[in-house]
Amino acid sequence: MLYSEQKRNAALQNGAPVFYFYSTDPFLARSAADKTAAALVDQGGETTRLDGPSPTVEEIVMAAGTISFFGTRRVVELPALQPSAYTDKDMNAVCDTLKSAENAVFVIYSVLPEERGKIKLGKQAKKLAETCEALGYAAEISRPGPQEIRRLLRERAKKQGTALPENAAAALLERCGQDLFLLENEVDKLAAASGYTEISPALVAEMGTLDLEADVFEMVRHVTARNPSKACEKLETLLRLQNEPIAITAALIGSYVDMYRVKAGQQKKKAYGQVHKDFGYKGSDFRLKKSSETAARYTPAQLARCLEILAELDKSLKGSPVGGDILLQAALCQLAAGGRP
């Protein structure tokens, strides 16, 4: 089932012996498990934590059987458990331990692979999820969309006594991308910088961290706005921050491939959301939404020409004696001229 905080809370109140959270995003899985373990400790439980992707069955049995000095429940945390690391026999033994533990409550989370935009439950993960759901609570935590991420950011700021207006949350999301670990740290940093008052869009612009893809996408927008000099200024900043030319080029290619795909989708009367699904993108479709807005200014032929320029740039970076900065600057000017709407 999909994660529901209301159902999770009901399971806590009913004394469920097992809580299992799984997601493709480590931040989401870890956060849900940590909050649940903290709630159980508040109820009087004592914690035993078994780190590692595959603690042995003996270690789990020993942790579950540890008697509390105060007679309270033992909270056994199994962070980042990897079900695929267990054999059929061992997974059956783990599930039997979950069923037979009398004075322990388990809090488990797993980060599972993704396939064509959906979480991939292997045989062992499915066995574990079914067992945990039958005994207590088990849920998949899907990646949130931009609106939900902005809400989470505002909540985190609020807990620190700091206001985060909607426009500042949107600016932070666009600037940093959708890496929840990064966004969590950014909110903490900007809250402190504001003196725990209010995080403004101006503060986000001044101090917010830009990831490489967001930086490159901003550079692309300068190109599409027919402003190659501004794009080159952005490139100089990226190089000064010691970003490798090949990494910058890879991000550039990714941006133009996104635009070409959504443009092809538009020709087939497919929205960017369908393109996101058809090509198996991970996470939300926010990135393609932005690409769709930019691609609207281009013809398919212009985007194809841009991709040819970038392919030649990639080839030159790997075999030409000319400096990577010079090759990138030349390519940006070609993109502005050759792919101009």
* Predicted confidence pLDDT, tens digits, the chain (341 residues): 888 889 999 999 999 999 999 998 888 899 999 999 999 999 888 889 998 789 998 999 888 876 555 556 789 999 999 999 999 999 999 999 999 888 899 999 999 988 766 788 899 999 999 999 999 999 999 888 888 889 989 999 999 999 999 999 988 887 777 778 788 889 999 999 999 999 999 998 888 776 677 778 888 888 888 788 888 888 888 888 788 899 899 989 999 999 999 999 988 888 888 888 888 776 667 778 888 888 888 889 999 999 999 999 999 998 888 888 899 989 988 888 765 54
Residues 136 and 18 in one domain: yes
The residues, ordered by sequence, that sit 6+ positions from 327 with a Cβ below 8 Å of its Cβ are: 245, 313, 316, 317, 320
Q: Tell me the CATH number at 126.
A: 3.40.50.300
Q: What is the pLDDT of residue 113?
A: 87
Q: In terms of DSSP bridges, do strands 114-115 and 118-119 run parallel, antiparallel, or are they unpaired?
A: antiparallel
Give the structural domain span for 259: 212-338
Residues 116 and 180 in one domain: no
Q: What is the pTM of this model?
A: 0.60
Residues 216 and 201 in one domain: no
Residues 97 and 202 in one domain: no
Q: What is the pLDDT of residue 45?
A: 81
Residues 313 and 225 in one domain: yes
Q: What is the pLDDT of residue 144?
A: 80
Q: What is the pLDDT of residue 283?
A: 62
Residues 236 and 273 in one domain: yes
Residues 9 and 129 in one domain: yes
The number of domains in the chain is 3
Residues 9 and 133 in one domain: yes
Cα–Cα distance between 180 and 26 in angstroms, integer? Answer: 9
Tell me which of 89, 119, 140 is where a domain ends. 140
Q: Tell me the CATH number at 163.
A: 1.10.8
Q: Tell me the CATH number at 276.
A: 1.20.272.10
DSSP secondary structure code for residue 319 in this structure: T
Q: What is the pLDDT of residue 336?
A: 83
* CB count in 10 Å sphere of residue 203: 17
Exposed, middle or buried, 257 (CB in 10 Å: 0-12/13-18/19+)? middle
Residues 102 and 38 in one domain: yes
